Amino acid sequence: MKQNKKGGLGRKPKDHDPQHPVVNGSVIEGGATKKSHLLIPLCVGGAIILGGAFFLTVNSSSIEMICRQVGNCQRFKEDANKAQDSFKKAEDRFKTAKSVQNLLTASKSIDEAKNSLLTIPDSAIELVSPISDQKAKVIELDKKIAIALALEQNADKALKDAILRIANADKLNRNPQEETEPPDDAKKRLNKPKALYVEAQVLLRSIPDDSFIAISKKEKLKQLFVKIQDVDGKLGEIKALDPCVTNPAACVVPAPEPVDFCEANPAACQQPSTPPTKRPLFGPGSSGY
């Protein structure tokens, strides 16, 4: 049997092309082929995007990949460098601080470091040194500065309050007792400045010896010692002038014992005497009868 040249059993159409597949005996035209070519890259691109998102989710520790996707690599590096510079400044200023103002400057630098680190995730381990370590160091130094600053501010306030009390006590009358002043009044007058001096002493002694104002503290304590000694000396003079101020019981006058009224005033207790009766010259009872 001869096969039909134009087509027969098992024979492919003459216009068959590998690029034109046969579906159900029909050849897919070129237009449909072009559409399929356009769909392929879209599908592949979508798969890549989805795969990349899945990768970032699973491998979130790869900060290099994360920052490249969102375009933050340069910003992370810059913020990390700023944080390191600010931390170094804060550390140096804290170690060399000589006043409250120095500590305030160090505190400002550590705040700048904290703000810079806020923009960087803890997973940024491939760009710079571990951010979590940097944050831990910043937090530790921040606590040290805060404690030192609070202590120095309290010490500074205590010194100023002590100086104010000393000045107010000095304004009070601490002159020697006047001749017309009762001893008890003089004692009350001198105890007022002494009470202020003692309050100033307590404030000064609350200041740590290793504080910035420790030298001023020692100088003021020496001055107070002299001032309190002066007041105590004047109080001692008052006590010497009037022993009843220090020992009132010794100056109590005992009540007098009861005295017999007649012993105290014999004349008032003397009985009047009866005069002798005279006899009549005449009549009964007279001397002539």
Give me the residue spans of the domains in the chain: 42-71, 76-151, 153-246
pLDDT tens track for 106-131: 999 999 999 988 877 766 655 556 77
CB 69 within 8 A of CB 51: no
User: What's the mean pLDDT when you consider all of the chain?
Assistant: 74
Higher pLDDT, 123 or 231: 231
pLDDT tops 60 at residue 59: no
Residue 137, judged by CB atoms within 10 A of its CB (0-12, 13-18, 19+), counts as middle
Q: Give the least confident one: 29-33, 83-87, 272-276.
A: 29-33
Q: Output the pTM of the full model.
A: 0.55
Place of tokens 């000045």: 167
Determine which of 58-62, 173-177, 221-225, 264-268 has the lowest per-residue pLDDT on average.
58-62
Q: Are 245 and 187 in contact (CB under 8 A)?
A: yes
Containing 22, the helix (H) or strand (E) segment is strand 22-23
pLDDT(61) > 50:
no
Collect all residues with Cβ–Cβ distance below 8 Å to 184 and sequence separation of at least 6. Answer: 242, 245
The pLDDT assigned to 78 comes to 83
Question: Domain spanning 153-246 has what CATH number?
Answer: 1.20.58
- In the chain, where does DSSP find H-type helix? 30-58, 63-70, 73-95, 100-117, 131-171, 183-205, 214-241, 243-246, 261-264, 266-269
Calculate the CA 255 to chain-centre distance. Answer: 63
8 Å CB contact between 252 and 245: no
Confidence of residue 68 (pLDDT cuts 50, 70, 90): low
| Per-residue pLDDT, 236 | 84
Q: Which of 165-169, 257-261, 271-275 has the least mean pLDDT?
A: 271-275
Q: In the predicted model, is pLDDT for residue 175 greater than 90?
A: no
